[in-house]
Structure formats: structure tokens, C-alpha cells
């Protein structure tokens, strides 16, 4: 009888210990990997499914983005570097530039990059009526579509200027507002060393890096820094992805949409 009681006590103790270990394991797993795709994007100012300034903090990924192109000085150099390094990026293009240099758009698509919408005229959407702002977005979509067959649904408002009216207009079109986590300020003519150091020292999981490839004579330092940025981030263990890969979403509208 005494032996049976001891055995029962041991079994009960093992069950309690096992339950505690299982609970702690589940708790740890929940901290490291939140359940559901949307949950892992709850971060900072993100509005999952609508607006993002960064990707998931749980994934060691980074997205390089380039605004204001395409053109024929910086865009080809950037594409050459990305191709040599086997890195894919996202280009937020201006519609009027897309119409001037359609061959650059087609090269972006052919080499596996994603194209986003940066309006037709690089307009401050917050100073427009909702109808005027939507027209800016739509004209850019049309310019890209005419030359690539793609209709971008990822929208980066010029200057990062947006408000409730602008955001709601984009959401109503099933678009996403894409901002950034790390601004290189390369458009100001920052040096190669300063841009490289800033990016490599500030990087965190899921960050979106903002650079430019527009018609700006001050972008030499940014382009020169790009190979070292890529090599340095790879050495830190980061994987390079496009914005749509970072956010696990579709970069373009279906043909019949929009």
C-alpha cells in the first residue's frame, strides 16, 4: 500500500513538472514566433494590411528601396550592382519618369525587382483633393502598366507626406502605404562612407531602407556605398527581399482589378 502511494506521488510530481515545462515552452515559442501572419507585423506605426514602415521584427530580412526614378545615370548603375550581388530591390517610380525611360522599367521587371507607385508627378498628396490625389496614383499605375503590364499596388507618398484622407483613398483601392525605417538622406549629397556607416550601424530586422535613383546629381555617394552596404549586411546575416516579400503580400493588382 505504502509503495503504491509513493509511486502515485512520483507520477503526480512528474505530471506537474511536465505541464510546467510544456507551458514554459509554449510561452517561449509565442514570444519568438507570434501566431498569424498579421500579428508579426504589429510593430511601431505599422497598421497591418494597410500601412507599413517596417517588416517583421522576427525575420532577419531587409528591403532596399529606391525612389524617384527611373533615369539613365543612377538607375542603370544600381541595377548593375544589384545584379552582380544577386539582390532584389523595390523601385518606387514616378509616372512621368516611367514614361520617359520605359526600358528601365522593363529591365527592373526582367531582373526580378518589384515596382511601386510614387505618383505621376512626385506630388504632395496632402495638398490635393482626394480626387486629385487619386488621379496622381492612377496615372502612375497606367504609366507602369503600359510599359510592363504590371499595375503596382504598393504606394509610397512623395516626401512621406500622407494623412487620413490620402491613406483611406489608397486603402479603398486595395493598395498599401509603404514608408521606411531608415532614411539615408542620400538626396542631400551624403558621402559614401557616411551612408554606408549609417546603414550598417543602424540596421534591425525587417527594416526598409530608403535611397534614391532620381534625376539628382548628388546621388553618387549613395550608389558608391551600395556594394559595401550589401556585403556588410550579408555579413551580419541579413537576407535581401522585395517589399512584397517582406510583407508577404502581392505587389501588383490583378489585371481586372483597380
Confidence of residue 235 (pLDDT cuts 50, 70, 90): very high
Tell me the per-residue pLDDT of 119-161, one tens digit each, with 9 for 90 and over. Answer: 999 999 999 999 999 999 999 999 999 999 999 999 999 999 9
User: Which stretch of DSSP H or E encloses residue 67?
Assistant: strand 61-67
Tell me the per-residue pLDDT of 75-115, one tens digit each, with 9 for 90 and over. Answer: 999 999 999 999 999 999 999 999 999 999 999 999 999 99
Asked if pLDDT for residue 33 goes beyond 90, the answer is: no
Report the alpha-carbon angle 58-228-85, nearest 5: 75
User: Which stretch of DSSP H or E encloses residue 116?
Assistant: strand 114-117
Which of 4-8, 30-34, 136-140 is predicted most confidently? 136-140
Catalytically annotated residue among 113, 118, 162, 212: 212
Asked if pLDDT for residue 6 goes beyond 70, the answer is: no
Average confidence score pLDDT of the chain:
89
Classify burial at 153, counting beta carbons within 10 Å of its beta carbon; exposed 0-12, middle 13-18, buried 19 or more.
buried
Cell triple for 179: 514608408
Output b/e per residue, 99-117; b: 16+ Cβ within 10 A: bebbebbebbbeeebbbbb
Catalytically annotated residue among 67, 68, 186, 244: 67
Q: What backbone phi and psi angles, to 5 degrees, belong to 8?
A: -60, -40
End-to-end Cα distance, the chain: 78
CA distance 49 to 24: 31
25 is catalytic: no
| Strand pairing class (61-67; 176-178) | unpaired
CA distance 22 to 28: 10
Alpha helices in 56-115 (DSSP H): 74-85, 95-100, 102-110
67 is catalytic: yes
Q: Can you give the pLDDT at residue 39?
A: 87
Amino acid at each position: 500500500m505504502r509503495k503504491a502511494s509513493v509511486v502515485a506521488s512520483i507520477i503526480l510530481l512528474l505530471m506537474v513538472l511536465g505541464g510546467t515545462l510544456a507551458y514554459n515552452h509554449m510561452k517561449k515559442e509565442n514570444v519568438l514566433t507570434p501566431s498569424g501572419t498579421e500579428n508579426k507585423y504589429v510593430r511601431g506605426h505599422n497598421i497591418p494590411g494597410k500601412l507599413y514602415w517596417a517588416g517583421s521584427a522576427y525575420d532577419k530580412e531587409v528591403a532596399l528601396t529606391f525612389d524617384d526614378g527611373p533615369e539613365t545615370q543612377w538607375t542603370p548603375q544600381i541595377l548593375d550592382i544589384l545584379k552582380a550581388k544577386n539582390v532584389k530591390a523595390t523601385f518606387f517610380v514616378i509616372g512621368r519618369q516611367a514614361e520617359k525611360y520605359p526600358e528601365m522599367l522593363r529591365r527592373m521587371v526582367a531582373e526580378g525587382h518589384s515596382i511601386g507607385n510614387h505618383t505621376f508627378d512626385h506630388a504632395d498628396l496632402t495638398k490635393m483633393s482626394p480626387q486629385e490625389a487619386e488621379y496622381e496614383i492612377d496615372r502612375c499605375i497606367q504609366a507602369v502598366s503600359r510599359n510592363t503590364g504590371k499595375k503596382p499596388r504598393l504606394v509610397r507618398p512623395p516626401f512621406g507626406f500622407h494623412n487620413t484622407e490620402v491613406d483611406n483613398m489608397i486603402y479603398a483601392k486595395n493598395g498599401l502605404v509603404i514608408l521606411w525605417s531608415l532614411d539615408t538622406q542620400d538626396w542631400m549629397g551624403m558621402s559614401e562612407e557616411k551612408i554606408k556607416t549609417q546603414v550598417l550601424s543602424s540596421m534591425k530586422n525587417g527594416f526598409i531602407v530608403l535611397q534614391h535613383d532620381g534625376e539628382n546629381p548628388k546621388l553618387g555617394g549613395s550608389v558608391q556605398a551600395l556594394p559595401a552596404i550589401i556585403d556588410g549586411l550579408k555579413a551580419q546575416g541579413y537576407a535581401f527581399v522585395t517589399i512584397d516579400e517582406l510583407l508577404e503580400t502581392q505587389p501588383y493588382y490583378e489585371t481586372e482589378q483597380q
